DNA sequence: CGTGCAGTTGAGCAAATTCAACGCTTGTGG
DNA sequence: CCACAAGCGTTGAATTTGCTCAACTGCACG
């Protein structure tokens, strides 16, 4: 059920203000959801990896946009159907409720992240990604430094500097800029307050 | 329906980790919900004013605590009843969904607040409070500077300094520390990006 | 009339940002 | 196949913002 759609890098899946009519599940790639302030500052609210669901939005209109961070395939399910059926199908309503609740949890965690120091934010981010990827010690970063910065509420330079700092303290190793090896989990966890 | 309970200043309504069995509506006063990091840093996730509902939590356990900012009366409704009835009562399920959705919206806005500058955070906070209170130009602050700081992700000194800065630029006036007059809304709105 | 708490103010400091330059990789056209 | 441009990431120096630490004020309450 639902239709498979492929998006290129940075291609928009939906925009802020558009009607929220679909629910999506990532099949491959990575999708970011963003909100943008009037003056152009961007906040990335979430990264959705394969298996993750996105597109559930407060209200009838999307309050954020969604774009593919890398070429991605997503499965779209028409939401108007879901919405109207939820009124008569309690099981479906509960399922949607569960999605909203999970989204709420993630958003709360994200807000909490934003009061931490730069090092703590980066460490938390890496550990979170590691938990979501199967691999235990290596993390592949499907997103650019700019996207990480916009997710963590930092600048691209600070993210870069913090990563090299973590590398210099032997907490991580960076074979390439998109691959991170977590050499010393305890020292990362110590920063994950 | 539900029972009325009165809480004193700083009295706990529920704690982090407790079973989430009730939904609450504020009748009078002001309730804060908090999360605390291991090292003691506190984030206030929300302030609930009369009429607001709080206590809806991801999962079975509260991920945040709730305390009265000032002496407050709240109406508590047993949640297990709600939860079980939501499975068979679609209208109730939709109502709960609406609450979750609204909570999600507020949490997203809070996260977005945390990437702004100190001035912008304070201005946004004041305008938000003004919208929620009936009075158009005067805002009463039911919470302390420390609570405002923990909500905005700033220190108490920065909040204080920013308020006096806004006063010096004639954007607001502070007859007492707990009362704010919004003299110049446009200049505040300009900071509300 | 003190005592204690909440809020303000000041000075110095630390963390992160800004601005700028540089290096590496990748892809493209000669 | 090489040269070169473009994009992304890193690094450095200077600056800014907000934090820390400390003192001080005003007010409420005994």
- Say if residue A92 is in the same domain as residue A187: no
Last residue of a domain, one of A87, A113, A139: A113
User: Do B93 and A96 form a contact (C-beta atoms < 8 A)?
Assistant: no
Distance from CA of B115 to the nearest CA of A (A): 6
Question: Angle A129-B55-B44 (CA atoms, 0-180°, nearest 5)?
Answer: 60
- Say if residue A54 is in the same domain as residue A78: yes
Q: Strand C closer than 7 Å to the CB of B10?
A: no
Residues A28-42: tens digit of each pLDDT: 999 999 999 999 999
How much is the pLDDT for B81? 67
CA distance A124 to A111: 13
Domain limits for position A95 = 3-113
Last residue of a domain, one of A72, A98, A113: A113
- Say if residue A58 is in the same domain as residue A15: yes
- Say if residue A159 is in the same domain as residue A89: no
How much is the pLDDT for B180? 97
- Strand C contacts (CB < 7 A) among A residues 112-141? 117-119
**Mean pLDDT, range B8-15, rounded to an integer:** 97
Distance from CA of A101 to the nearest CA of B (A): 5
- Say if residue A97 is in the same domain as residue A17: yes
CA distance A148 to B100: 28
Of B105, B112, B153, nearest to A43 by CB-CB distance is B112
Chain A contacts of B86, Cβ < 8 Å?
90, 93-94, 97
Which of B52, B166, B63 is closest to B117 using CA atoms?
A: B166
CATH of the domain at B109: 2.60.120.10
- Say if residue B151 is in the same domain as residue B177: yes
- Say if residue B161 is in the same domain as residue B88: no
Average pLDDT, chain A: 93
Cβ separation A114–B87 shorter than 8 A: no
Per DSSP bridges, beta strands A53-54 and A3-7 are unpaired
Residues A158-189: tens digit of each pLDDT: 999 999 999 999 999 999 999 999 999 999 99
- Say if residue B125 is in the same domain as residue B167: yes
Strand spans (E) along B37-157: 42-48, 53-54, 65-78, 138-140
Nearest residue of chain B to residue A189 (CA atoms): B38
Phi, psi of B181 (to 5 degrees): -105, 125
Count how many domains chain B has. Answer: 2
Q: Strand D closer than 7 Å to the CB of B144?
A: no
Of A93, A105, A108, nearest to B93 by CB-CB distance is A93
Place of tokens 């909203």: A100
- Say if residue B104 is in the same domain as residue B29: yes
User: Which class for A109: exposed (0-12), middle (13-18), buried (19 or more C-beta within 10 A)?
Assistant: middle
Q: Strand D closer than 7 Å to the CB of A161?
A: yes
**Mean pLDDT, range B74-97, rounded to an integer:** 81
- Say if residue B138 is in the same domain as residue B163: yes
- Say if residue B131 is in the same domain as residue B37: no
Residues A108-156: tens digit of each pLDDT: 999 999 999 999 999 999 999 999 998 889 999 999 999 999 999 999 9
- Say if residue B94 is in the same domain as residue B166: no
Provide, in whole angstroms, the distance separating residue B129's CA from nucleotide D6's C1'.
48
Strand spans (E) along chain A: 3-7, 12-14, 22-36, 42-48, 53-54, 65-78, 138-140, 172-176, 179-182
User: Do B27 and B74 form a contact (C-beta atoms < 8 A)?
Assistant: yes
CATH of the domain at A136: 1.10.10.10
Last residue of a domain, one of A113, A144, A178: A113
Confidence check: pLDDT of B105 > 80: yes
Strand spans (E) along B19-97: 22-36, 42-48, 53-54, 65-78
Residues B30-64: tens digit of each pLDDT: 999 999 999 999 999 999 999 999 998 877 899 99
How much is the pLDDT for B148? 98
């Amino acid at each position: 059920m639902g239709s498979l759609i492929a998006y290129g890098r940075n291609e928009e899946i939906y925009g802020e203000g558009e009607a929220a009519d679909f629910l999506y599940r990532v099949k491959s790639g990575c999708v970011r959801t963003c909100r943008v302030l009037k003056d152009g500052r961007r906040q990335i609210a979430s990264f959705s990896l394969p298996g993750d669901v996105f597109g559930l939005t407060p209200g009838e209109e999307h309050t954020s946009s969604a774009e593919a961070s890398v070429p991605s395939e997503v499965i779209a399910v028409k939401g108007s159907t879901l919405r109207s059926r939820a009124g008569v199908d309690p099981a479906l309503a509960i399922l949607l409720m569960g999605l909203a609740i999970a989204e709420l949890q993630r958003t709360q965690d994200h807000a909490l992240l934003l009061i931490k120091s730069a090092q703590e934010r980066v460490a938390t981010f890496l550990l979170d990604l590691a938990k979501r990827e199967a691999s235990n010690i290596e993390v592949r970063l499907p997103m650019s430094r700019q996207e990480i910065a916009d997710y963590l509420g930092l600048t691209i330079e600070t993210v870069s500097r913090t990563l090299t700092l973590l590398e210099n303290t032997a907490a991580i190793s960076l074979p390439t800029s998109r691959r991170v090896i977590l050499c010393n989990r305890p020292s990362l966890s110590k920063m994950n307050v």
